[in-house]
Amino acid sequence: MHPLFDLVTLVNLILCVAIVAISVIGYVKIRSATPLYIGAGFFLFGVSHVATLLGLKTTLETEMIVVRAFGYITVCFGVYLVIREIMLRMRTAEELRTERLELERRVDERTAELQQANEALRASEAQKSAILEGITTNIALVDADLRILWTNAAAARSVGRSPEEMIGHACHAFWGDPLAPCEHCPTLRAFETKRSEHTIMHTPDGRMWDEKGEPIFDAQGNVIAVVEIALDITEREQAEQRLAAAARQWRQTFDAMSDSVALFDGEGLVLRCNAATTTLTGRPFEDIVGRPCYEVFHGAAAFLPDCPQQRALASGQTETSIREQDGRWLRVTFRPLTDEAGRPSGGVHVVSDVSGLKQAERGLTESLAAQRTITEGVIAALVRTVEVRDPYTGGHQRRVGELAAAMALRMELGEERAEGLRVAGLLHDVGMVNIPAEILAKPGRLTTIELELVKGHARAGFEILSAIHFPWPVAEMALQHHERLDGSGYPAGLVGEDVLPEARILAVADVVEAMASHRPYRPALGLEAALAEVRGGGGVRYDPAAVAACEGVFAEGFVFSES
C-alpha cells in the first residue's frame, strides 16, 4: 500500500474519532440522541479505516462494504435528525419570539393598569387625607407603646402643636399625664381586649372628651395599632348641663302651678302632667301618662258630651267648659296645638278648681239680686210717688220705658243697655214731684212762668237720681231727655254728639208716647201724628236712627201695655 494512502486513512480515522468524541459530548450537553447517530456513523467509518490500516480490507472486503453502508445510512439519518432539530428549534424560536412579544404586550398593559391603579390610589389617599385633615374630630394612629404614628391637623391644633411634632411621642404626653397613660384609656384597653373601647375623659385643662379606640389587626389577628378618636364635648356637656338645669327649673315651675296642667296628643292620651294633676285625680304619674284623658280625669270610658278638647280640635280655638264633679266645680280649658303642617296634634289641658269662685259668684249673684230688688223697690217707690201726685205722668213714664227698651233692642244695643233705657224711662219725669199738682193737672195752656217751672223738672230729676247708684247713666238720661240735636231743647241746649245716645232714644220715645196719649190739657193726637212729628224732625231735632227704630218697632206690632 502506498504510504500516502495510509496517511490519509490515518487522518480519516483521527477525524472519525474526533467526531465520535464530539457526538458523545453533544449528547451529554444537550441530552439528545441526534449527535449519537452521527457519531455512530463515523464510528463505523473509523472501524473500516482501522481495518484498512491493519491490512484486513482484502480479507473482510464484503464486511467493510456493509459497515461503511451502515455508516453512511447512520450519518444520513443523523444529518436528517440534525436538520429536523434545527427546524424545530427555529420554529420554537419563532414561537418564543411571538410569546415574548405577547408577554411584553401583556406586561405593558399590566404596567399601564398598575400606573392607573397607582394614580387612583394616590388620588384616593389624597382624598382620604383631605377628609381626615378636614375632620374637626381628633384622630391619631397609635402603636402598642402608645406612640403616635400619625395624627390629623385637628388633633394637633387641640394641643397647639403640628402633626410632625407629635409623631413618635406618647399620646398621653399631650392629653394627659406625660409620665403615665390616662386612667381608663380606651386605646390601651383596645390593645388588651382586641375590640372597640369607649370612655369619657377629662383632661387637666378642664376639657371633656368623648374618646374611642378602634383596633387594627394584621393577617394573623394581632392588634398592630389603634385608631384613637377624640371629640371635644366640653361645650356640648355644658349645654346639656344648662339644658338639664332649665328642665329642672321648668319642672319645678310646672309642678308649682296650683292648676292641673297636662299635655295631650291628638287621640287624647296624656303625654305629661304636673304635680297638681296627680292631686286632682288622686293618681300617681305612672298611672296618668299614656292613659286616655277621660279615664284619668273623669273615670269614664269615652269622651264626655260638650268636651272642650273635642270642640277645640274641631274649631282650632281655645275652648272652655265648667262642670260640677265630685262636689267640686271645675273649669276645663283646652288650647289646641298644631304640627308643622298646621294639623291638630294635641293640646294643653288646664283644669282649675273654681269651687271658691263659684261660691263667690253665687254670693255675688244673690247680692246683686238683692241689690236689684232694692233698686227696683226704690224705682217703684219713686214711680209711685209721681203717680200719686200725677197719674198721667206715672203711666207716661212706664210706657216711655217700654218703647225706649224696644227701640234699643232693635238698634242692637244689647239687653243691658235696653234695661238701662227702661229704667230711665220709668224715672225720666221724676222731677215732676217738684211741680205743683195744680199746674200738672191744669187743663188749659200754661203761662210762661208755669212753663219754665215745668221745664225745671229735668234738672230736678237729675238731682234726685244722682243720689242713687245705677249701673247706667240714668240721671244723665233724665237730664237730657228734652235736649234736641239742633240745640233747640232744654235745659242746656246741647247739640249733636253732646247728647247721650240713650237720651236721644229716650227723647223720641217721650215725644211719641206723649202725643199718642191723652193729657189733661188735650186729647190724644194719635200714633200716626206722633210718628209724623218725629219723622219730620229726624236728622234735625231727633236722631234719625232712633226715629227709624221707633217706626220699626211699631211696624212689627209693638203696642203700649195697659196701666
String of DSSP letters for 367-433 = HHHHHHHHHHHHHHHHHHHHHHH-HHHHHHHHHHHHHHHHHHHHTT--HHHHHHHHHHHHHTTGGGG
Query: Quick check: do 257-353 and 381-555 share a fold?
Result: no
pLDDT score at 420: 92
Whether residue 209 contacts residue 230, with contact meaning beta carbons closer than 8 Å, is answered with yes
pLDDT score at 469: 85
Taking each helix axis from N to C end, the angle separating 61-134 and 34-53, rounded to the nearest 10 degrees, works out to: 150
CA torsion 56-60-65-68 (nearest 10°) is -50
The CATH topology of domain 257-353 is Beta-Lactamase (3.30.450)
Identify the architecture of domain 381-555 in CATH: Orthogonal Bundle (1.10)
| CA 425 – CA 400 distance, rounded (Å) | 5
| Domain spans of the chain, in order of start | 3-97, 136-238, 257-353, 381-555
Whether residue 244 contacts residue 252, with contact meaning beta carbons closer than 8 Å, is answered with no
pLDDT score at 394: 61
Instruction: Encode the chain (563 residues) as per-residue pLDDT tens digits.
Output: 444 445 656 666 666 666 667 666 666 666 666 666 666 666 666 666 666 656 555 555 666 666 666 666 776 766 667 777 777 777 777 777 888 888 888 888 888 888 888 888 787 767 766 766 667 788 888 898 889 898 888 888 888 888 888 889 888 888 777 778 887 888 888 888 999 998 888 877 778 888 898 999 988 889 989 988 888 888 888 888 888 888 888 888 888 888 889 999 988 999 999 999 998 889 999 999 999 998 998 888 899 888 888 898 888 899 998 888 888 888 899 999 988 888 888 999 999 888 877 777 777 777 777 767 767 777 776 777 666 666 666 688 888 999 999 999 999 999 999 999 999 998 888 888 778 777 776 777 778 888 888 888 899 889 988 988 888 999 999 999 999 999 999 999 999 999 999 999 999 999 999 888 876 667 778 889 989 999 999 999 999 999 999 999 999 999 887 65
Whether residue 490 contacts residue 482, with contact meaning beta carbons closer than 8 Å, is answered with yes
Q: pLDDT for 328-355, tens place per residue?
A: 888 899 999 988 888 888 999 999 888 8
Q: Is 458 exposed, middle or buried (0-12, 13-18, 19+ CB in 10 A)?
A: buried
pLDDT score at 478: 92
pLDDT score at 206: 79
pLDDT score at 54: 60
Q: Is 558 helix (H, G, I), strand (E, B) or coil?
A: coil
pLDDT score at 32: 62
Instruction: Enumerate residues 6+ apart whose C-beta is below 8 A from 317.
Output: 336
pLDDT score at 208: 85
| CA 454 – CA 440 distance, rounded (Å) | 8
Q: Which of 541, 442, 432, 438 is nearest to 490 (CA)?
A: 541
pLDDT score at 490: 92
Q: For the chain, how big is the Rg over CA atoms in Å?
A: 65
Q: Which of 232, 144, 138 is nearest to 188 (CA)?
A: 144
pLDDT score at 10: 64
Query: Residue 202 CB: number of other CB atoms within 10 A?
Result: 13
Distance of CA 134 to the CA centre of its chain: 30
Cell of 378: 226704690
Q: What is the 3-state composition of the chain as percent helix, strand, coil, each rounded to the nearest 5?
A: 60, 15, 25
CATH of region 136-238: 3.30.450.20
Whether residue 35 contacts residue 78, with contact meaning beta carbons closer than 8 Å, is answered with yes
pLDDT score at 5: 45
| CA 387 – CA 403 distance, rounded (Å) | 19
pLDDT score at 195: 92
| CA 542 – CA 531 distance, rounded (Å) | 12
Q: pLDDT for 31-72, tens place per residue?
A: 666 666 666 666 666 666 666 656 555 555 666 666 666 666
This prediction's pTM: 0.43
